[in-house]
């Protein structure tokens, strides 16, 4: 077990730090040796990547806070434009100094301004003799800002000539960042996923005060047995553990089992967890609904998930428009004659097909079609005469806003707009059933 | 300013001038004075008051319908953040990742109605929960930046609105919006400062204002049309706000038009796991419409009535096209306006008491109008000859009779509604619903013609004669309730009669032994297996059944059905058989259709093909097929282009155009001056073509030089 060791920091602090970052000791010790002592220059930029909730943000935050290193922590999703981002860094820096007033807000439009302002802020403080760390969380957003932002951050040390290290945190690999014009290559560090043993260790750490650590660890073991297959997100697992713990304790509270009776407890909790996996984990029902369901003995059948409400009520002609759109999307144009003309004669499918059409159109997905074709099909599938009023056209538009149709290449309205039908086969069959239209008979794939 | 035009271009918006409106008013005043013999002013006033009344009523209905939904939402929002405030120290609350409370509000596809719901929702929220409500629309938020701007603008403004009366001098909050950085931090700072202020306010003053909202009320953000938001904007916003949920108690409301599945398709699991989503469903719009029809049309209080055709047009638009209750009410309003505008006698379309007074003050002109009504003529013809003369000559006698007739009409309506409901009780439980499931269908059928003559009515009576006893009894009880609650006085007897039926049914229960006979014969039938014997017994059985006396229950059932039938024949006479029905019924469906079912393509085609239709210029009236050169240039160009194929050669077209235009100037146009004339014609032609391009009939083609492509009717 490699204990954290570093001459610059007191051993007690390091020990405390180690207890805070379980299963990440090797990464932390590597980072510590890179950082060096407070006043020593470190690497200009460090790139840390790893999957969701592999502890990147948490480790960095704990490390910098516990060792009380001067740092700025910015989330790039939150500060979505370069201007906001740079200003936020400056504002946070200002808070380190006592001399400058908080409210003096300086506009910072470009990176050039930033470098100047940065020098000012750093010079006016006691930060000079320490390395300053700028941590940019969710750094993949930087790629969407101006092209100079990312390369400039990577060599900020050089540009500002100050003792500063930029740390980028991201979920994707460095190769996807590298700009085409080239840039300074940062030191990359990978945070591997937590293994099941790690998860067990971390989750068991925070046991509720009422129960013993062993009891909670046994519970976590069962929980991981169910959920590890589908979810390795530590936060999510933590959340699920808390949600279902009261159910696990139920037999103990009622006095039917003691804390060591693991088998009985397992029997009690296992189906419950499986149910949770199908409902609350998918956010089919909300956590608060799940909790109230646990407290009361209500039937789980009463709680209908979000996916249970798939039915959509549509006006009569909208239904037919949608059906027509579906047919236009999934049938080849040449087959329209066969389906919608009265005296089409008998054309067998084998003669009819070209090679590429042998693959199911449903596997290839919807194809775009022009408005005229949609209306032509509509007029032939509706039994009575459809008046070509503005209402029909506005219905098409509202189907587009409802995301049941989507417009393809909407550059010019006059240019004959093209649409695609985005609904699924099941959905359209349910719609067709309500208007007594046998859609399967009209689909080329099912001929 | 925004336009609703689909084409891109420059639009001129003139400032609304008040002068013009004044001039119009004076103009209309002078016309009113001219034909005041038709009571124009009075009609206008009664139209206004009637509409105001109806509007109030519909709003009340809508409020009641939404009440349940809003209550649920309010309690959800109240619960969501209070839990965290109460027990922050508990282990489970510390450990649990804190989710953003989110209400998925499924409102149905009638997007036009949503505005109303959202309006009342935000009002309720501001009253009960929090002053901080922001309504976001997708079209305002193409990016996260615009969303934040919009959100902050709304929140900070609403705060100023609330505080205006108490804190005018406080400049703290009134920082102009563009100075503030549009980021979550500034929002949080704003929230903190506002909270601090309300805190100090509550300690300083009485706790009256903040007792409605509790300490640190949540900030509610409503996404009006979830479907139209881009995924990225939503995701970013949710991620950002979940970082700050501890400092800023945020709650989201998603307005969903289709199905809640859209949440999963818009948001990946990593984002949706930050939300605590609960589902709320509003009433379906069909039920909404039924309630509106029930409370608005099938009541006696509203003097204005819709005719059968008009009602069908409105309902068809609703069911076939938009599902929008709002549009239905708008259509209803149009009917009222049209009726009061076009029918001079609509002055009598008001409360009976007022109507009687107004009859007395009718001018001679109006009396003539009454005499001209077809229904009144029918009435006159049915009278004895002395009366006929009196009715046609004496105005005062006519007025007297009119009062009586109006009274009759009112009575007819009162009875009509009760009997219709009663009939609906019967028909709505029959298999296959021969007369329709909804009361509106039955209402239409009754308005159309004498319902008892239709086949559907016949078959539903047949079916009613086969009802079982328990159903029949419950139906009778419902009918009794309807009649008792109705205002008509004529129904005392009916109620008595129905109650009598009920007691007879109860008596029957005591002596229910006769039925066994038929049952035993059925059993006999089951024993036989031989085909010949079976046939024989079946024949015998049939014979015996025909001759057999009906059981008491069957007799009674027949009686009941016959009685209902007699009620229907008495009271459900179609309205157009009633005298003076034209006064209160609006039945010109063609006008309504012309207004509501806009047919842009047809209208354009008629305008261009037959310009006389709109211009009313006698010179244009002439032809059938030939192209007149007096028509506007665009019409000539349009007609010529109809003769062309998919691609049109511009040179040929110009040639044809100039031939048509020159036709009349033929003798004058010499070869020498043709060059100059050609320039003007050329310019006119170019203008006509570009107008056609603007209207979307043709577009420049890249396939061939000097050609344009037709866009309509497929070309050839």
Domains of chain B plus CATH, in order, are 81-198+210-283 (3.40.50), 289-464+574-582 (no CATH), 600-710 (no CATH)
Judge whether residue B208 has pLDDT over 50: no
**Nearest CA-CA distance, residue A145 and chain B, Å:** 13
Residues in chain A closer than 8 A to B320 (CB atoms): 315-317, 391
Range with lowest mean pLDDT among A245-259, B3-17, B138-152, B231-245: B3-17
Which DSSP helix (H) or strand (E) runs through B219? strand B219-223
> Residue B101, SS3?
strand
CB-based contact B111 A401, cutoff 8 Å: yes
Closest chain B CA to residue A382: B320
Cα–Cα distances (Å) from A125 to A128, A129, A132, B403, in that order, read 7, 10, 12, 96
Closest chain B CA to residue A386: B320
Q: What percent of chain B has pLDDT over 90?
A: 14
pLDDT of residue A181: 82
Judge whether residue B30 has pLDDT over 50: no
* CB-nearest partner of B711 from A208, A235, A414: A414
Judge whether residue B585 has pLDDT over 70: yes
**Nearest CA-CA distance, residue B583 and chain A, Å:** 31
Highest mean pLDDT among A290-294, A414-418, B697-701: B697-701
pLDDT of residue A352: 55
Q: Is A172 on the interface with B (CB under 8 A)?
A: no
User: What is the C-alpha separation between A163 and A166, in angstroms, rounded?
Assistant: 10
Mean per-residue pLDDT, B631-650: 87
* CB-nearest partner of B257 from A87, A304, A402: A402
**Nearest CA-CA distance, residue A105 and chain B, Å:** 10
Q: Is A390 on the interface with B (CB under 8 A)?
A: yes
User: What is the C-alpha separation between A409 and A124, in angstroms, rounded?
Assistant: 55
CB-based contact B322 A392, cutoff 8 Å: no
Tell me which of B375 and B431 has the higher pLDDT. Answer: B375
Q: Which residues contact B694 (CB under 8 A, 6 or more apart)?
A: B7, B9
The residue of A143, A215, A313 whose CB has the most chain B CBs within 10 angstroms, and thus the best one to mutate to test that interface, is A313
Give the A:B interface size as CB pairs under 8 Å: 164
Residue B648's nearest CA partner among B710, B558, B573, B563 is B710
Q: What is the pLDDT of residues B103-144, one digit of tens each?
A: 999 988 888 888 888 998 988 888 888 888 999 998 888 888
**Nearest CA-CA distance, residue A38 and chain B, Å:** 30
Q: How confident is the model at residue B56 (pLDDT cuts 50, 70, 90)?
A: very high
Q: How confident is the model at residue A345 (pLDDT cuts 50, 70, 90)?
A: low
Judge whether residue A376 has pLDDT over 70: yes
pLDDT of residue A59: 92
CB-based contact B276 A311, cutoff 8 Å: no
For chain B, positions 109-138, list CB contacts with chain A under 8 A: 109, 111
Residue corresponding to tokens 């194809």: A367
pLDDT of residue A270: 86
User: What is the C-alpha separation between B405 and B283, in angstroms, rounded?
Assistant: 41
Closest chain A CA to residue B229: A401
For chain B, positions 184-213, list CB contacts with chain A under 8 A: 184-185
The residue of B98, B114, B144, B320 whose CB has the most chain A CBs within 10 angstroms, and thus the best one to mutate to test that interface, is B320
Residues in chain A closer than 8 A to B696 (CB atoms): 414
* CB-nearest partner of A312 from B102, B109, B597: B109
Q: Which residues contact A409 (CB under 8 A, 6 or more apart)?
A: A368, A418
Q: How confident is the model at residue B713 (pLDDT cuts 50, 70, 90)?
A: low
DSSP alpha helices (H): ranges in A102-190? 111-123, 149-154, 156-160
Q: Which residues contact A114 (CB under 8 A, 6 or more apart)?
A: A86, A89, A90, A108
**Nearest CA-CA distance, residue A296 and chain B, Å:** 17
CB-based contact A77 B240, cutoff 8 Å: yes
* CB-nearest partner of B259 from A311, A395, A414: A311
Residue corresponding to tokens 């009685």: B563
Closest chain A CA to residue B94: A242
CB-based contact B181 A84, cutoff 8 Å: yes
Q: How confident is the model at residue A293 (pLDDT cuts 50, 70, 90)?
A: confident
Cα–Cα distances (Å) from A40 to A44, A132, A188, A380, B568, in that order, read 12, 11, 20, 80, 100
**A74: β partners:** A136
Q: How confident is the model at residue B509 (pLDDT cuts 50, 70, 90)?
A: confident
Closest chain A CA to residue B713: A372
* CB-nearest partner of A289 from B278, B281, B598: B278
For chain A, positions 417-446, list CB contacts with chain B under 8 A: none
pLDDT of residue B329: 93
Mean per-residue pLDDT, B343-349: 88
Residue B567's nearest CA partner among B420, B681, B440 is B420
For chain A, positions 316-375, list CB contacts with chain B under 8 A: 316-318, 372
Q: Is B646 on the interface with A (CB under 8 A)?
A: no
pLDDT of residue B705: 82
Q: Is B695 on the interface with A (CB under 8 A)?
A: no
The residue of B75, B87, B92, B238 whose CB has the most chain A CBs within 10 angstroms, and thus the best one to mutate to test that interface, is B92
pLDDT of residue A299: 54
For chain B, positions 160-189, list CB contacts with chain A under 8 A: 181-185
For chain A, positions 59-78, list CB contacts with chain B under 8 A: 75, 77-78
Residues in chain A closer than 8 A to B598 (CB atoms): 389-391
**Nearest CA-CA distance, residue B284 and chain A, Å:** 8
User: What is the C-alpha separation between B69 and B279, in angstroms, rounded?
Assistant: 11
User: What is the C-alpha separation between A329 and A363, in angstroms, rounded?
Assistant: 12
Sign of the torsion formed by the C-alpha atoms of B41, B42, B43 and B49: positive
Q: How confident is the model at residue B34 (pLDDT cuts 50, 70, 90)?
A: very low
**Nearest CA-CA distance, residue B257 and chain A, Å:** 7
Judge whether residue A353 has pLDDT over 60: no
**Nearest CA-CA distance, residue B247 and chain A, Å:** 15
For chain B, positions 60-79, list CB contacts with chain A under 8 A: 79
Residue B424: alpha-carbon gap to chain centroid: 23
Q: How confident is the model at residue B90 (pLDDT cuts 50, 70, 90)?
A: low
Burial of A130 (0-12, 13-18, 19+ CB in 10 A): middle
Q: Contact, B181 vs A84, CB < 8 A? A: yes
Q: What is the pLDDT of residues B261-295, one digit of tens each?
A: 888 888 988 888 888 888 898 888 888 999 999 88
Tell me the pTM.
Answer: 0.81
**Nearest CA-CA distance, residue B301 and chain A, Å:** 31
Residues in chain B closer than 8 A to A295 (CB atoms): none
Residues in chain A closer than 8 A to B260 (CB atoms): 306-307, 309
**Nearest CA-CA distance, residue A19 and chain B, Å:** 18
Q: How confident is the model at residue B624 (pLDDT cuts 50, 70, 90)?
A: low
Q: What percent of chain B has pLDDT over 70?
A: 80
**Nearest CA-CA distance, residue A25 and chain B, Å:** 23
CB-based contact B109 A288, cutoff 8 Å: no
**DSSP secondary structure, A15-34, as one string:** HHHHHHSTT-HHHHHHHHHH
Average pLDDT, chain A: 84
Judge whether residue B353 has pLDDT over 80: yes
Residues in chain A closer than 8 A to B317 (CB atoms): 391
Average pLDDT, chain B: 80
Range with lowest mean pLDDT among A55-59, A353-357, B618-622, B692-696: A353-357
**Nearest CA-CA distance, residue B344 and chain A, Å:** 32
pLDDT of residue B14: 63
In this structure, the dihedral spanned by the alpha carbons of residues A228, A230, A232 and A236, taken in order and rounded to 10 degrees, is: -100
pLDDT of residue B644: 83
Q: Contact, B585 vs B306, CB < 8 A? A: yes
Mean per-residue pLDDT, B365-392: 89
Q: Is A242 on the interface with B (CB under 8 A)?
A: yes
DSSP state of B551: P
Residue B58's nearest CA partner among B328, B254, B378 is B328
Closest chain A CA to residue B181: A84
**B220: β partners:** B133, B251
Judge whether residue A330 has pLDDT over 80: yes
Cα–Cα distances (Å) from A80 to A75, A127, A435, B144, B240, in that order, read 9, 27, 48, 8, 10
Mean per-residue pLDDT, B300-315: 89
pLDDT of residue B501: 86
Strand residues in B126-186 grouped as ranges (E):
133-136
Judge whether residue B582 has pLDDT over 70: yes
Highest mean pLDDT among A307-321, A428-442, B201-215, B521-535: A428-442
């Amino acid at each position: 077990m490699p204990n954290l060791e570093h001459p610059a920091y007191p051993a007690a602090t390091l020990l405390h730090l180690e207890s805070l970052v379980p299963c990440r000791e090797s990464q932390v010790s590597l980072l510590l040796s890179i950082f060096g002592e407070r006043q020593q220059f470190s690497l200009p930029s460090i790139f840390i990547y790893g999957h969701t909730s592999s502890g990147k943000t948490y480790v960095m935050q704990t490390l910098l806070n516990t060792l009380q290193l001067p740092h700025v922590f910015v989330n790039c999703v939150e500060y979505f434009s370069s201007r906001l981002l740079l200003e936020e860094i400056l504002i946070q820096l200002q808070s380190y100094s006592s001399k400058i007033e908080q409210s003096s807000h300086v506009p910072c439009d470009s990176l050039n301004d930033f470098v100047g302002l940065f020098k000012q802020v750093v010079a006016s403080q006691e930060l000079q003799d320490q390395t300053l760390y700028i941590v940019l969380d969710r750094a993949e957003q930087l790629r969407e800002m101006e092209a100079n932002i990312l390369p400039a951050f990577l060599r900020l040390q050089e540009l500002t000539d100050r003792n500063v290290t930029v740390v980028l945190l991201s979920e994707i690999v460095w190769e996807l960042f590298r700009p085409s014009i080239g840039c300074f290559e940062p030191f990359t560090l990978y945070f591997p996923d937590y293994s099941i043993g790690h998860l067990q260790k971390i989750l068991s750490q925070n046991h509720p005060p009422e129960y013993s650590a062993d009891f909670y660890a046994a519970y976590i073991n069962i929980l991981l047995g169910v959920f590890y297959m589908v979810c390795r997100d530590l936060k999510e697992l933590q959340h699920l553990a808390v949600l279902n713990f009261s159910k696990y304790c139920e037999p103990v509270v009622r006095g039917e089992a003691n804390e060591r009776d693991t088998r009985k407890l397992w029997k009690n909790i296992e189906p419950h967890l499986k149910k949770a996996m199908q409902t609350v984990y998918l956010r089919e029902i909300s956590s608060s609904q799940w909790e109230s369901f646990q407290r009361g003995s209500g039937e789980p059948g009463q709680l209908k998930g979000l996916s249970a409400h798939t039915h959509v009520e549509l006006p009569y002609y909208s239904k037919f428009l949608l059906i027509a759109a579906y047919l236009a999307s999934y049938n080849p144009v040449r087959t329209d004659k066969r389906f919608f003309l009265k005296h089409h004669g008998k054309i067998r499918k084998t003669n009819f097909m070209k090679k590429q059409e042998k693959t199911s159109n449903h596997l290839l997905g919807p194809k775009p079609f022009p408005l005229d074709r949609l209306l032509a099909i509509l007029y032939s599938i509706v039994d009575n005469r459809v008046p070509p009023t503005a209402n029909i056209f506005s219905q098409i538009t509202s189907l587009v806003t409802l995301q049941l149709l989507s417009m393809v290449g909407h550059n010019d309205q006059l240019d004959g707009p093209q649409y695609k039908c985005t609904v699924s086969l099941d959905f359209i069959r349910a719609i067709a059933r309500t208007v007594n239209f046998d859609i399967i008979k009209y689909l080329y794939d099912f001929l | 300013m925004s336009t609703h035009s689909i084409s891109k271009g420059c639009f001129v918006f003139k400032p609304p001038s008040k002068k013009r409106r004044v001039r119009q008013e004076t103009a209309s005043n002078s016309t009113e004075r001219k034909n005041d013999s038709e009571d124009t002013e009075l009609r206008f006033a009664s139209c206004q008051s009637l509409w105001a009344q109806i509007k109030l009523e519909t709003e009340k209905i809508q409020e009641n319908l939404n009440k349940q939904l809003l209550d649920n939402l309010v309690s959800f929002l109240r619960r969501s953040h209070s839990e965290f405030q109460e027990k922050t120290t508990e282990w489970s609350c510390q450990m649990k990742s804190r989710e953003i409370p989110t209400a998925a509000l499924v409102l149905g596809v009638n997007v036009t109605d949503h505005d109303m719901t959202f309006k009342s929702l935000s009002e309720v929220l501001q009253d009960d929960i929090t002053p901080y409500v922001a309504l976001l629309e997708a079209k305002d938020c193409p990016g996260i930046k615009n969303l934040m701007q919009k959100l902050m603008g709304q929140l900070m403004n609403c705060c100023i609105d609330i505080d205006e009366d108490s804190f005018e001098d406080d400049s703290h909050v009134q920082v102009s919006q563009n100075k503030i950085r549009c980021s979550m931090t500034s929002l949080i700072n704003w929230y903190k400062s506002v909270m601090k202020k309300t805190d100090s306010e509550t300690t300083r003053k009485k706790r009256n204002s903040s007792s409605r909202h509790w300490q640190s009320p949540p900030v509610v953000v409503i996404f009006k049309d979830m479907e139209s938001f881009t995924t990225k904007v939503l995701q970013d916003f949710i991620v950002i706000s979940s970082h700050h949920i501890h400092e800023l108690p945020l709650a989201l409301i998603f307005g969903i038009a289709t199905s809640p599945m859209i949440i999963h398709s818009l948001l990946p699991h990593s984002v949706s796991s930050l939300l605590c989503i609960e589902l709320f469903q509003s009433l379906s719009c069909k039920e909404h419409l039924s309630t509106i029809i029930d409370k608005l049309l099938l009541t006696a209080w509203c003097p204005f009535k819709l005719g059968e055709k008009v009602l069908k047009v409105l309902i068809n638009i609703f069911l076939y096209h938009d599902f929008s209750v709002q549009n239905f009410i708008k259509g209803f309003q149009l009917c009222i306006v049209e009726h009061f505008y076009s029918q001079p006698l609509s002055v009598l379309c008001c409360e009976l008491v007022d109507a009687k007074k107004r009859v007395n003050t009718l001018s001679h002109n109006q009396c003539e109008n009454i005499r001209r009504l077809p229904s009144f003529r029918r009435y006159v013809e049915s009278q004895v000859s002395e009366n006929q003369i009196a009715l046609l000559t004496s105005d005062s006698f006519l007025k007297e009779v009119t009062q009586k007739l109006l009274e009759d009409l009112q009575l007819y309506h009162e009875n009509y509604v009760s009997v219709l409901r009663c009939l609906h009780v019967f028909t709505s439980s029959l298999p296959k619903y021969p007369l329709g499931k909804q009361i509106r269908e039955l209402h239409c059928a009754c308005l159309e013609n004498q319902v008892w003559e239709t086949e559907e009515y016949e078959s539903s009576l047949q079916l009613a004669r086969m009802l079982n006893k328990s159903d029949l009894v419950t139906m009778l009880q419902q009918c009794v309730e309807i009649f008792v609650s109705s205002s008509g006085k004529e129904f005392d007897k009916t109620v008595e009669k129905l109650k009598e039926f009920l007691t007879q049914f109860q008596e029957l229960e005591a002596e229910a032994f006769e039925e066994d006979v038929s049952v035993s014969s059925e059993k006999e039938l089951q024993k036989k297996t031989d085909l010949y014997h079976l046939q024989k017994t079946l024949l015998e059985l049939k014979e015996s059944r025909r001759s057999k006396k009906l059981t008491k229950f069957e007799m009674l059932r027949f009686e009941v059905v016959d009685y209902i039938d007699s009620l229907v024949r008495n009271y459900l006479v179609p309205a157009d058989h009633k005298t003076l029905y034209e006064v209160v019924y609006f039945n010109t469906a063609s006008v309504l259709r012309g207004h509501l079912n806009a047919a842009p393509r047809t209208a354009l085609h008629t305008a261009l093909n037959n310009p006389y239709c709109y211009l009313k210029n006698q010179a244009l009236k002439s032809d059938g097929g030939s192209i007149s050169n007096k028509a506007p240039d665009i019409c000539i160009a349009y007609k010529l282009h109809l003769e062309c194929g998919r691609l049109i050669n511009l040179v040929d077209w110009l040639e044809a155009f100039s031939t048509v235009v020159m036709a009349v100037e033929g003798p004058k146009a010499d070869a020498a001056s043709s060059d100059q004339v050609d320039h003007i014609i050329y310019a006119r032609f170019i203008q006509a073509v570009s107008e056609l391009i603007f209207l979307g009939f043709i577009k420049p083609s890249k396939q061939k030089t000097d050609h344009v492509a037709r866009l309509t009717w497929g070309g050839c």
